[in-house]
Homo-oligomer: A and B are copies of this chain.
């Protein structure tokens, strides 16, 4: 089986688990597309352009999804003090709650995987994927 597909399967499983956990915690209105932007927001806020680069969609798409997240109360847009053109997407209280739910589930899944593989192989997996970023992460090129 090709490695692309082997990457897809656990990636998608992780996504599904987190979406299910969010829905179970009352965040069922969050869509997968919204979550793919939401999960990339930095603790101190992120620019739409950065979110677009990381999620690998256009900034227009991010704009639409951030609109939705804002209307649903998960994020706010604030001016970027360092750049008059830019705005920062930041979490609201509700957004932080969703974050906690999502991150907890991620940790649980990772623990499950580590249990399956053993700690050494899990670490090796993480390290290998991290190293591949130098070849595969388009966002690695210029961000701070």
Q: Interface residues, chain A, CB within 8 Å of chain B?
A: 1-15, 18, 39-40, 56, 103, 106, 110, 112-113, 116-117, 121-122, 124-126, 128-138
Contacts and interface: CB of A to CB of B under 8 A. Distances in A.
Contacts of A121: 124, 128
Contact of A10 (B9, B13, B40, B132): B132
4 closest Cβ contacts across the A-B interface?
A: A13-B136, A4-B14, A7-B11, A6-B129
A77 to B, nearest CB: 23
Q: Give the dominant DSSP class at A's interface.
A: helix
A139 B5 CA distance: 12
Given A116-B134, A125-B125, A110 B9 contact: no
Contacts of A103: 2
Contacts of A3: 10, 14, 106, 110, 113, 125-126, 129
B130 A128 contact: no
